């Protein structure tokens, strides 16, 4: 595979890889490093890439595994699994404060979820992957993905209701 076809194959989902790495590693710099490292590994194995059924799923699995390895390593003393999101600079100050508060609550809630539920919730509801793709990436059965997603959503809903009486008048 030449450089041009490699770029055509891999670059469309590079941002998804970064978002997953950012979600797991929290630090933007760490996420950028992780994304670059995965892209380098993909390039080194570019001869085998065409044999994969879904290069995107393979790359996302590599990203997940690399980030989890980083979190387990001794160098990752200050890294932790946390939900994070990005701010939009074009909105009002009040909206920014509300968004920041909402994100902080979601971070607290998501911290309470088991790792598997947190990952499935992100891949499905944020990254918009199909259940089959998530099952392949997470090396789980489809039914286990559905169950994990359902439990994660239920836990988030219950926590929001408990803390904010969200959706109840």
Residue 87: is its pLDDT beyond 70? no
**Domain ranges in the chain with CATH number 1.10.1740.10:** 3-76
The mean pLDDT value for 124-140 works out to: 88
The mean pLDDT value for 88-98 works out to: 67
Which of the four pLDDT bands, split at 50, 70 and 90, describes residue 77?
low
Which of the four pLDDT bands, split at 50, 70 and 90, describes residue 85?
very low
* Rg of the chain, C-alpha, whole Å: 18
> Is residue 45 within 8 Å of residue 9, measured between CB atoms?
no
Q: Of 16, 1, 17, which is closest to residue 50 (Cα–Cα)? A: 1
Q: Which CATH class is domain 93-164?
A: mainly alpha
What is the separation of C-alpha 107 from the centre of its chain, rounded to a whole number of angstroms?
Answer: 13
Whole-model pTM over 0.85:
no
Q: What is the pLDDT of residue 80?
A: 45
Q: Comparing 72 with 123, which gets the higher pLDDT?
A: 123
Q: What is the pLDDT of residue 168?
A: 57
The CATH number that domain 3-76 falls under is 1.10.1740.10
The encoded tokens of residue 9 equal 């194959």
What span, in angstroms and rounded, lies between the C-alpha atoms of 28 and 16?
14
Q: Comparing 127 with 36, which gets the higher pLDDT?
A: 36
Q: Is the dihedral of CA 122, 111, 81, 85 positive or negative?
A: positive
What span, in angstroms and rounded, lies between the C-alpha atoms of 77 and 62?
22
**Domain ranges in the chain with CATH number 1.10.10.10:** 93-164
């Amino acid at each position: 595979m030449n450089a041009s076809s490699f770029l055509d194959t891999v670059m469309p989902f590079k941002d998804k890889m970064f978002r997953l790495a950012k979600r797991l590693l929290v630090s933007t710099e760490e996420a950028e490093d992780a994304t670059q490292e995965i892209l380098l590994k993909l390039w080194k194995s570019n001869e085998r890439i065409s044999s994969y059924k879904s290069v995107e799923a393979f790359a996302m699995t590599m990203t997940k595994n690399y980030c989890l390895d980083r979190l387990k390593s001794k160098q990752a003393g200050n890294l932790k699994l946390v939900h994070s999101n990005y701010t939009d600079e074009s909105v009002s100050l009040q909206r920014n404060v509300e968004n920041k508060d909402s994100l902080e609550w979601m971070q607290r809630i998501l911290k309470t979820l088991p790792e598997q539920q947190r990952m499935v919730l992100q891949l499905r509801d944020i990254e918009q992957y199909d259940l089959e793709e998530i099952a392949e990436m997470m090396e789980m059965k489809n039914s286990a993905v559905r169950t994990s997603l359902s439990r994660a959503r239920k836990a988030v809903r219950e926590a929001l209701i408990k803390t904010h009486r969200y959706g109840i008048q």
